[in-house]
Amino acid sequence: MTENTPSTHTPEPRQVPDWIPAFPVLAPDSADLPPHHDHCLGCGPANPHGHQLRARRDAHGVHAHHRFDSRHVGAPAIAHGGAVATVLDELFGLLLYTVGEPAVTRHLAIDYLAPILLDTPYTLRAHIHARDGRKLHLQATIENDHAHVITTATALFLTVDVNHFLTHNTPPHTDNTP
């Protein structure tokens, strides 16, 4: 039989992760977008397994240049589709800097029109197609050096309050207190 008594444990103050706030105020003339945090899989400069994507703001949204390497191999000499999806999701995440609000991926759809080759330069572009309240409808492309579109993507992101990230970083309750 479990006794249901109030907990006398005082919870520790909630620690805010180093990367909050995730959306710094950028100067209007700032083209270079900062990484989300140092160890981000998509853009973190300190993540040796990551893509270290660097994006720039432009008149239409954002763009980046990227080469998939041997860490991202799927079939021989071809990037794994999951690695491509990671980079596109990250590009959309960096596009959020232009919105100025945090948001999360709700849906990501990718059309692989041709293989993404390893050690080959690609240009990635993303823009906001439409906004409906919290819903951000985003579009992206990956082009080869001949400006041929190799991959297209659409995404639905939902804007969230920064507490969304804090809530998921808090350990679950382990006792019976409400």
Question: What is the distance between the alpha carbons of residues 118 and 128, in angstroms, rounded to a whole number?
Answer: 28
Query: Is-contact 47 37, C-beta < 8 A?
Result: no
Beta pairing, strands 122-132 & 62-66: antiparallel
Instruction: Using pLDDT thresholds of 50, 70 and 90, give the confidence band for residue 165.
Output: low
pLDDT (tens digit, 9 = 90+) per residue, 72-106? 999 999 999 999 999 999 999 999 988 888 899 99
Q: What is the pLDDT of residue 64?
A: 96
Q: Which of 88-102, 106-120, 129-143 has the lowest mean pLDDT?
A: 88-102
Instruction: Domain ranges for the chain, please list them.
Output: 55-167
Instruction: Kindly tell me if the per-residue pLDDT of 37 is higher than 90.
Output: no
Global pTM reads 0.78
Fold for domain 55-167? Answer: Thiol Ester Dehydrase; Chain A (3.10.129)
